[in-house]
Every structure is written in structure tokens, then in C-alpha cells.
Amino acid sequence: MAVQNKVSLPVIKRLPKYYRYLTNLSADGKDKISSSELAHMMGTTASQVRQDFNCFGGFGQQGIGYKVDVLRAEIGKLLFGNGEKLPTILVGAGRLGSAVSSFISRDANGYKLLGVFDVNPDLIGKEICGVPILPLSELEAFCTEHHPE
């Protein structure tokens, strides 16, 4: 997979959305998808989809389309590297933080939740997705020790 020297920021910003749609298609058992079908889901054109993927060497076959699992895996490599999960922390363990933590903790998303921090004393010591909620005052020391990205 040859990657061009410069990939535009808009293309990079579309990759997570492609990945999300392909994950859903894979879960629904869809094997192949055309650029026009994917474009319709993305709210763009088939030409744009093909141009986006050509920035990374292209993944499909003309007239056949894209294999959903292969395309998802390739975009996953672009987003998440060699399969190692990105060490991540979450600041804020309220309703939104709880929702975000469940997203982060799903295996398919490429993140490893290392720590959760909050200022609410009622939440300190509880767990979100198996990770204890720590006081915000410990954030700096935690980051120094665990190196989240």
C-alpha cells in the first residue's frame, strides 16, 4: 500500500467515519460495498470516496467494489497503527464521560482506557468500564507514570 507524501486534512478527518460505517456493515454481514453505496452513506460522491482511498494506494477493484473487511482492516491500520491500542485517559466521569468511556473501551475502537478522572467526590473510587475513577488532582502524576497519548 503506497501512501502519497501529502494527504489532505479533510481526507484524514473522513477516515474515522469510513471506519465506523465499515464496522457497522461488517457487523451486519455485508461482504462488499461499492464506492457509490459508501458515498451515499457518507454524504459525498463516489468519485470522492475513490480519491480518498487512492491517497493510500487504493483498496478496491473497478466494477467489483471494496471488500468490507479488507477495507475496514486497512483503514484501521491507518488510524490505529500496528494494532496496539492507543493509551488514553478520560477527564470527566459524569453522564457524557460514562458514554465516552464505553465507546473508548470497545475493543474495535483502538483505545486502551488507562485512567478516569473527576472532581466529584461522589464518583471518586467508583469504576467506569473496570477503570477506577481518580481525583483530578492526581492527573499530572498519573500521566507522568503511564504516558497516555
Give the CATH class of 9-79: mainly alpha
CATH superfamily label, 86-146: NAD(P)-binding Rossmann-like Domain (3.40.50.720)
Q: pTM of the prediction? A: 0.58
Q: How far, in Å, are 19, 73, 140 from residue 101 at the CA level?
A: 19, 23, 20
Neighbours of 93 (CB within 10 A): 25
Residue-level pLDDT, tens digit, the chain, 149 residues: 444 457 888 998 999 999 999 999 999 999 999 999 999 999 999 999 999 988 887 777 777 889 999 999 888 888 877 667 788 899 999 989 888 888 777 655 678 889 999 999 999 999 998 899 999 999 999 999 999 88
Cα torsion 100, 106, 107, 112: sign = positive
Instruction: Find, among 94, 4, 86, 95, the residue nearest to 52 by Cα.
Output: 4
Q: Give the phi and the psi of residue 100 in degrees, each rounded to 5.
A: -65, -40
Count the alpha carbons within 13 Å of 107 in the hemisphere toward its beta carbon: 0
Query: So where are the chain's domains?
Result: 9-79, 86-146
